[in-house]
Chains A and B, each alone.
Chain A
């Protein structure tokens, strides 16, 4: 491995030239395609081929010059306790971040980068510089080393007198979870197909609208035919369409799963996890334990049958876009889940603690909102036809069942240091966090809750919030006071 001296300005890999060039082509295509399209449609332009050839060559040369200049003016180095990135030739830009502000350093690889065998490196900060801190082309080994150095922070750069690493002995990486093609199949099948189907329908509808705009008359003709066909055909056709949609959704989920989680590996090294996955776009993310604000895991009816959980590490929001950083590990088996929970939360003390369920009144409110309200609002139209009444009645019963499912899963467990809440309707989700990660606490009580001495709590952490709805008022207050006390005496840093 070539030795790395980050105190000297370093350029990215020469292969970066190709990437910058391709990026340039992409940008110019994005800018000029309407113009080109217009010219193509008006065919007479091509009468004079020579001019267009010249223009093409000129753009090509300009892009090459741009690539070279961009490449030559792109540096990064470490000075003092700051990471500095310089870029741009006409308009120069210098980005500086203190090393201790670095939240995470991740690498990614798209198809072209895979072909060139380089990686891009993204530095995520607690500040606002955000996406700009990205180096597009680094040799793999170099990227890994830089990722490690930046992550371990200041300590590494201070000892630069002794040129060689005074690092702690490298701990071995331990593989926790690896997804084989069979696992991917299971994960794909157990996705929420209802949601996927909705996305597909919405997407299809959009396309349909676009097409309709273009071929308005034809579309009307076809859709008229379609509707008459639909109304004349039997239930069998409807059933066929439903099954068709289901199959399409499953296939879609399968493809998505394979693209996203191909060759998925979850590894453990020291006090951090590393996730590696992707088919066309490979990503490599490092998550230190202390950056994890909340651990979520989830299972559903099909997942349960396979015995798998989907696990999500929720990290702090970063930058101005306030986008929650999350990394998920689908296809965890019970033993994986237990390992991860022990790593992050220590010995499981919550399992012996009693569950505290939300009050039955929570069910009543859910049922009122999802069952009674829609039925009351549509009441004036309901008695026009018997089938509507029947549908309303079914809706009424269905929403009651659904609300009951939600109530049965809504509970929490709390001890002096941790909280775990459970929720869900058809799927079952759990969220767990250390209490000192709390940022603020909210107590809510409507006048209806007050009459029954109930209240709701929300615990906010840096990655989102956890809600405990409809619990006893005095209990809510006690928890509220305890959480504030606990957070205020806590000396631990929440990230």
Chain B
């Protein structure tokens, strides 16, 4: 630690990012996450059944039961992870930057200063449309790695956020 304070003159009281102050995503977004999990497993199960029908000769029942139990276990595991992870997701709007956090096993926090945002986009998928949700995508010049997406915002808030950010961008031009 001493090494570090030798090299950077840290201004007093730099603002810190508090995890607890983040705005959570809309609870409805959890539904969309679950729909995605279900679709994914339907596709997997579909592929497996097609494989069973096409392949001649019935596989032994113990293999069948292993595959099915693995599938069920995976569904349960991913669902639990999704539920536990959900409250970890959130965004934080400060005076000069926007942050997004996520992740249970690997926690990730990414921040983009307003003066580096190139443009902002609001997107709405099929399910999001039904649930009146939107996602906001923020583009920087840093390419995909530094682009930031906030999913699961109420449509109105998403529009407001976009308007707010667009205004901030024009201030810096």
Interface residues of A (CB under 8 A from B): 316-317, 322, 353-354, 356, 413-416, 438-447, 450, 458, 460-462, 464-465, 472, 474-475, 477-482, 484-485, 487-488, 490, 494-495
Contacts and interface: CB of A to CB of B under 8 A. Distances in A.
Interface stretch (B74-82, B112-120, B159-167): B112-120
A472 B141 contact: no
A439 to B, nearest CB: 3
Contacts of A445: 106-107
Given A445-B107, A465-B145, A485-B15, A356 B113 contact: no
B9 interface: yes
26 contacts: A317-B141, A317-B143, A416-B8, A438-B116, A439-B141, A439-B146, A442-B108, A442-B110, A442-B146, A444-B108, A445-B106, A446-B105, A447-B104, A447-B106, A460-B142, A460-B145, A465-B142, A465-B145, A465-B146, A475-B1, A475-B4, A481-B16, A482-B8, A484-B96, A487-B116, A488-B96
Contacts of B107: 443-446, 450
Given A353-B7, A439-B116, A439-B146, A446 B106 contact: yes
A484 B97 contact: yes
A484 B113 contact: yes
A79 B10 CA distance: 49
B60 interface: no
A481 B140 contact: no
Given A440-B140, A475-B4, A484 B111 contact: yes
Contacts of A415: 7-8
A225 to B, nearest CB: 37
In order of increasing CB-CB distance, the 7 nearest A-B pairs are A439-B142, A460-B146, A440-B146, A460-B142, A462-B141, A443-B109, A488-B96
Q: Chain B, interface size: which category?
A: 35 or more
Given A356-B3, A440-B110, A445-B107, A460 B8 contact: no
B111 A439 contact: no
B141 A447 contact: no
Contacts of A481: 14-17
A444 B143 contact: no
Contacts of B97: 484, 488
B21 interface: no
B6 interface: yes
B130 to A, nearest CB: 31
B148 interface: yes
Contacts of A485: 11, 14-15
B170 to A, nearest CB: 16
Q: Is the interface of B mostly helix, strand, loop or mixed?
A: mixed
Interface string B13-37: 0111100000000000000000000
Contacts of B143: 317, 322, 460, 462, 464
B4 A460 contact: no
Contact of A316 (B141, B144, B148): B141
A354 B112 contact: no
Interface string B135-151: 00000111111101000
Contacts of B14: 478, 481-482, 485
Given A458-B145, A460-B146, A439 B112 contact: yes
Given A354-B3, A413-B7, A442 B16 contact: no
A322 B11 CA distance: 36
A95 B128 CA distance: 38
B9 A443 contact: no
Given A443-B109, A481-B14, A487-B113, A356 B4 contact: yes
A34 to B, nearest CB: 35
B141 A495 contact: yes
Contacts of A356: 3-4
A212 to B, nearest CB: 29
A474 B116 contact: no
Q: Tell which of A356, A439, A465, A474 has the most Cβ of chain B within 10 Å.
A: A439
Given A460-B145, A477-B16, A414 B7 contact: yes
Given A353-B6, A487-B113, 10 more contacts: A353-B7, A416-B9, A439-B146, A440-B142, A442-B109, A447-B106, A462-B141, A478-B14, A479-B4, A482-B11
Contact of A440 (B17, B96, B148): B148
Nearest to B4: A475
Q: Tell which of A442, A472, A477, A490 has the most Cβ of chain B within 10 Å.
A: A442
Nearest to A495: B141
A372 B53 CA distance: 39
Contacts of B106: 444-447
Contacts of B15: 481, 485
Contacts of A479: 4, 8
Contacts of B110: 440-443
B6 A474 contact: no
Interface in B50-68: none
Contacts of B9: 416
A474 B10 CA distance: 13
B16 A447 contact: no
A439 B4 contact: no
B147 to A, nearest CB: 8
A485 B115 CA distance: 12
B116 to A, nearest CB: 5
A146 B128 CA distance: 51
Nearest to A447: B105
Contacts of B111: 440-442, 480, 484
A490 B96 CA distance: 12
Contacts of A478: 4, 8, 10, 14
